[in-house]
């Protein structure tokens, strides 16, 4: 059997290696239009910043090593330009000399990936405006930085590539502006979770401009003027456009493969396309969202690798299927980490799924052991069953560990009660006896059982205008003096029992503290004394980042408000 694979990065290279492990006699050919195969897209920004020094570190395999190890022929600078599904022939262009040839196949795997979007605005063709998608892009950007006196850069787009590029440009000492069309960076996060990231990035020196549209570029001397938002133009020596990607499926369309309205290749759970003996994997395919069951585009390396493996299994007669992805992701931005898995609020609302959420605040490990850092966890769950639908975490140490536990919980269909019961490893340098994941389960359990009712930051503005409620802050007087919700009265938790007479029993009491822990205890006191009480989810610290655009405080803090 002869298998031709178009595209030799994540999905294509994985499929090729899997095919060889399953069939030693099969002829396998990879056609890759770039000069590299099996490279790490996710590592490209770190070569620009210098965290990765060696060019060869970006490529996991070369055509020579692939042949030596697997006897797979990987042809770089060979672009597939047409497919004849009836004759089972691929027409290929040798990019080095422009000649063409035909390659037959028995089975074909498409792994064309996605291409970077360029804004269709005046001046966008300037050579100082670059995208970052391939190894060649990375080398071009780093060479430019090392050849010209780049002092100012503009990054357009606040997704993974945009944030990582901005970080790495700043690590090189380049003053950087990041322009984002939406009101937040990092779309997998909800707006409220992204606000902590906004404050942190501004604190690191990034000129972050949200809700700003780029309308064009104009040369000004040796630099570019970036026209954005009707404001004064932003000057830049280099512009990196990172506004997203779109499935690279022109070849698939010309071959008659079925595409969805967004141009992605439609496949079944065996990665088979609408044309017999043609499979497709990776960023160019429409898959199923594991949580909602709806069609989705999830251009991430993990799903691409799994899909490549499944396509190879199918070709070799093995029964494996792809059950969908939940979009698990993580990003490092300077010292901070942000991660997400499953549904956020936007996705749950779009899918029409009933949900509720809790925002918890935990230390990365036991606070009495040195080095503990803050961690904010937002967990979405199904109110009736308690099934976990999604999680988002922003913090420092230990974020990746907890998001992976949440991802596994979602995959296994676990509920909040299951989170409570998870037996997770504990030692003071690594966690607490009640791990942050356990704590999320405990809080959801309290809400679902009616032990406590909660309110969210979005409701505060209406409550401030409603004289029929009492806003109660149970932090210390010093904490209260440093910032509080307007209109809130201050009765410290440890004095609350003795001062209940100061509260109007005829009014519902909306309580807050720093993190939600002390206010939960206050709600238990109040509820058992006949008050109608609600607890602010995420506490004052979360509210302040979202509603008051508070500056980021890097000092680790105990949930009770004590600086560590």
Are 392 and 188 in contact, with CB atoms under 8 Å apart?
yes
Between 56 and 500, the higher pLDDT residue: 500
Is the confidence at residue 344, as pLDDT, over 90? yes
Q: Which of 42, 513, 523, 533 is catalytic?
A: 42
Average confidence (pLDDT) over 381-410: 98
CA distance 53 to 46: 9
At 562 the pLDDT is 65
Least confident of 48-57, 195-204, 431-440, 512-521: 48-57
Please calculate the CA angle 519-520-522 and round it to the nearest 5 degrees: 60
Q: At residue 195, what are phi and psi to the nearest 5 degrees?
A: -60, -35
pLDDT-derived band at 560, boundaries 50, 70, 90: low
Please give the sequence-ordered ranges of beta strands (E in DSSP) within 43-187, or none if there are none: 73-76, 78-84, 89-94, 100-104, 107-110, 114-116, 129-130, 152-156, 175-179
Least confident of 59-68, 247-256, 292-301: 59-68
The two tokens of residue 445 are 């359990």
32-45 pLDDT per residue, tens: 999 988 877 788 89
According to DSSP, the β-strands at 454-455 and 2-6 are unpaired
pLDDT over 70, % of the chain: 98
Average confidence (pLDDT) over 476-497: 96
Please give the sequence-ordered ranges of beta strands (E in DSSP) within 302-387, or none if there are none: 329-333, 336-342, 356-363, 374-381
pLDDT-derived band at 53, boundaries 50, 70, 90: confident
According to DSSP, the β-strands at 509-512 and 470-473 are parallel
Q: Closest by alpha carbon to 41, among 76, 11, 79?
A: 11
Strands of the sheet with 295-296, listed across from one edge: 265-266, 285-288, 295-296
At 556 the pLDDT is 66
Is the confidence at residue 551, as pLDDT, over 90? no
pLDDT-derived band at 59, boundaries 50, 70, 90: confident
Is the confidence at residue 187, as pLDDT, over 90? yes
The two tokens of residue 82 are 């047409």
Residue 560 is a catalytic residue: no
Is the confidence at residue 564, as pLDDT, over 80? no
333-343 pLDDT per residue, tens: 999 999 999 99
At 554 the pLDDT is 66
Q: Closest by alpha carbon to 437, among 448, 447, 426?
A: 426
492-535 pLDDT per residue, tens: 999 999 999 999 999 999 999 999 999 999 999 999 999 999 99
Are 354 and 360 in contact, with CB atoms under 8 Å apart?
no
Mean of the per-residue pLDDT values of the chain:
94
At 559 the pLDDT is 64
Provide the 3-class DSSP secondary structure of residue 331. Answer: strand
CA distance 13 to 18: 9
Q: Is 123 left (phi over 0), alpha (psi -120 to 50) or beta?
A: left
Is the confidence at residue 29, as pLDDT, over 80? yes
At 43 the pLDDT is 84
Is the confidence at residue 56, as pLDDT, over 90? no
């Amino acid at each position: 059997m002869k298998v031709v694979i178009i595209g030799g990065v994540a999905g294509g290279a994985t499929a090729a290696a899997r095919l060889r492990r399953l069939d030693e006699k099969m002829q396998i050919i990879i056609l890759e239009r770039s000069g590299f195969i099996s490279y790490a897209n996710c590592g490209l920004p770190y070569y620009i910043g210098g965290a990765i020094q060696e060019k060869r570190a970006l490529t996991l395999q070369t055509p020579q090593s692939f042949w030596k190890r697997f006897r797979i022929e990987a042809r770089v600078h060979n672009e597939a330009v047409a497919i004849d599904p009836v004759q089972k022939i691929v027409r290929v262009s040798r990019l080095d000399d422009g000649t063409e040839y035909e390659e037959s196949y028995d089975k074909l795997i498409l792994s064309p990936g996605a291409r970077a979007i360029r804004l269709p605005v005046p001046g966008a063709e300037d050579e100082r405006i670059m995208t970052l998608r391939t190894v060649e892009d990375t080398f071009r950007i780093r060479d430019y930085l090392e050849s010209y006196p780049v002092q100012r850069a503009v990054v357009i787009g606040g997704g993974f590539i945009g944030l990582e590029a901005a970080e790495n440009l700043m690590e090189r000492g380049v003053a950087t502006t990041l322009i984002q069309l939406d009101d937040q960076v990092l779309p997998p996060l909800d707006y409220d979770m992204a606000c902590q990231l906004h404050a942190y990035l501004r604190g690191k020196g990034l000129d972050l401009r949200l809700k700003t549209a780029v309308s064009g570029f104009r040369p000004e001397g040796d630099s570019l003027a970036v026209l954005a938002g009707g404001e004064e133009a932003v000057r830049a020596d280099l512009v990196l456009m990172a506004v997203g990607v779109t499935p690279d499926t022109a070849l698939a369309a010309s071959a008659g493969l079925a595409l969805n309205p967004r141009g992605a290749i439609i496949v079944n759970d065996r990665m088979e396309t609408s044309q017999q003996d043609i499979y497709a994997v990776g960023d160019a395919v429409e898959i199923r969202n594991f949580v909602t069951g709806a069609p989705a585009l999830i251009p991430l390396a993990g799903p691409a690798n799994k899909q490549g493996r499944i396509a190879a299994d199918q070709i070799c007669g093995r029964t494996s299927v792809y059950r969908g992805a939940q979009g698990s992701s993580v990003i490092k931005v300077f010292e901070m980490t942000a991660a997400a898995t499953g549904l956020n609020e936007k996705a749950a609302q779009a899918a029409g799924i009933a949900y509720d959420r809790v925002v918890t605040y935990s230390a990365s490990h036991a606070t009495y052991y040195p080095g503990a850092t803050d961690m904010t966890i937002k967990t979405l769950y199904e109110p009736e069953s308690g099934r976990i639908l999604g999680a988002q975490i922003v913090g420092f140490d230990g974020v990746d560990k907890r998001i992976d536990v949440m991802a596994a919980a979602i995959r296994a269909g676990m509920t909040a009660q299951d989170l409570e019961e998870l037996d997770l490893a504990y030692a003071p340098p690594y966690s607490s006896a009640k791990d942050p994941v356990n704590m999320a389960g405990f809080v959801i359990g309290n809400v679902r059982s009616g032990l406590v009712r909660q309110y969210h930051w979005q409701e505060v503005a209406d409550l401030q205008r409603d004289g029929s409620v009492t806003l109660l802050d149970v932090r210390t007087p010093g904490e209260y003096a440093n910032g509080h919700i307007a209109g809130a009265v201050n009765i410290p938790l440890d004095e609350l029992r003795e001062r209940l007479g100061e509260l109007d029993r005829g009014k519902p009491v909306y309580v807050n503290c720093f993190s939600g822990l002390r206010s939960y205890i206050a709600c238990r006191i109040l509820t058992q004394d006949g008050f109608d009480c609600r607890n602010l989810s995420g506490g004052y610290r979360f509210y302040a980042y979202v509603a008051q655009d508070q500056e980021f405080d890097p000092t680790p803090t105990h949930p009770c408000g004590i600086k560590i």
